[in-house]
Amino acid sequence: MATLRDIQKRIKAVENTKKITKAMKMVAASKLRKVQSRMMDLRPYADKMHDVLISLAKGADRESHPLLSLRPRKTVEVVVVTSDRGLCGAFNTNILKAAQGAIDNYKKEGFEISISTVGKKARDYFKRRDVAVRHSWTDISGSVRFSSAEEIANDIKENYMNETIDEVNVVYNAFKSMVAQTVTTAKLLPLSPPEEEGEEEASAESAADFIYEPSMEAIFDRLIPRNVDIQIYRALLESSAAEEAARMSAMENATQSCTEMVETLTLQYNKARQASITGELMDIVGGVEALKG
């Protein structure tokens, strides 16, 4: 049975843990406010840029730009975006489970798989399973910079244009609310999926609605590579915001658990102390009765 001193030590340890989890929640809240503001500012720009380029690409010659070219899929690249740190609930587990499911499905369809990771958790996950990772980036989730997105995007664009990979999909957690994150799989390259039957004529007609200035080639050379940068940057910001929200929720739950544990231990301490006092009183009474006898 635990002594009073043991229970006191446990109460103190839990209270110290509670201070840590409460501080981590406050830090996560501060980081979330900053990254959420950047993410919300980028969302409309990223969405509109992607939609416009999809519309332009439908009426364009697929050979007009290397990033528009459609070729038989042989190698599919899966870019998995996780965090560098833990203590954020099921944030990383959900991403890795979705990424593994997508990879297994591609393998069943007969495609070769290329894997790139962003974040230490994804890198370590595949490393433990002896899965080859083509490229890995770390130390990004804490402070997302556009230069980091450009570095990742440049590597992807280079390998796509060299025909090392034929399709690129990004798996990340999209921020929905303070308590909800959605695992998202976004097709990054090629820019749009192959046209379905019956859409070719509609696409040709829609191309007449656009006037290119100075030229289609100049616009595509400028905007299509930039769109890849922006979509990667968006995925990093979304993932970072979702991570901090998940960490806030996890630390709040941990703090609440610490509070409940302290209450339970305090009750246990009071019972043990009462039992100790009662035992001492019984000894005193027994001694007095013995003296009387």
Q: Cα–Cα distance between 126 and 130 in angstroms, integer?
A: 6
**Can 88 be counted among the known catalytic residues?**
yes
Work out the percent of the chain whose per-residue pLDDT is above 70. Answer: 93
**Catalytic residue chosen out of the listed positions 88, 103, 153, 246:** 88
Residue 178 has what pLDDT? Answer: 83
Q: Cα–Cα distance between 173 and 180 in angstroms, integer?
A: 10
Residue 165 has what pLDDT? Answer: 92
Residue 203 has what pLDDT? Answer: 46
Structure token pair of residue 206: 């829609």
Residue 290 has what pLDDT? Answer: 75
For 110-167, how does the pLDDT look when each residue is reduced to its tens digit (9 = 90+)? 999 999 999 999 999 999 999 899 999 999 987 899 999 999 999 999 999 998 999 9
8 Å CB contact between 83 and 121: yes
For 202-236, how does the pLDDT look when each residue is reduced to its tens digit (9 = 90+)? 444 444 467 777 888 888 888 889 999 999 999 99
Nearest to 212 by CA among 1, 106, 55, 80: 55
Name the pTM for this structure. 0.85
- Domain limits, the chain: 23-194+204-248
From the CA atom positions of the chain, what is the Rg in Å? 29
**CATH 2.40.100.20 applies to domain 23-194+204-248:** no
Mean pLDDT for 238-253 is 94
Residue 1 has what pLDDT? Answer: 60
Q: Cα–Cα distance between 285 and 27 in angstroms, integer?
A: 56
CB-count burial class (<10 Å; 0-12, 13-18, 19+) for 224: buried
Residue 172 has what pLDDT? Answer: 95
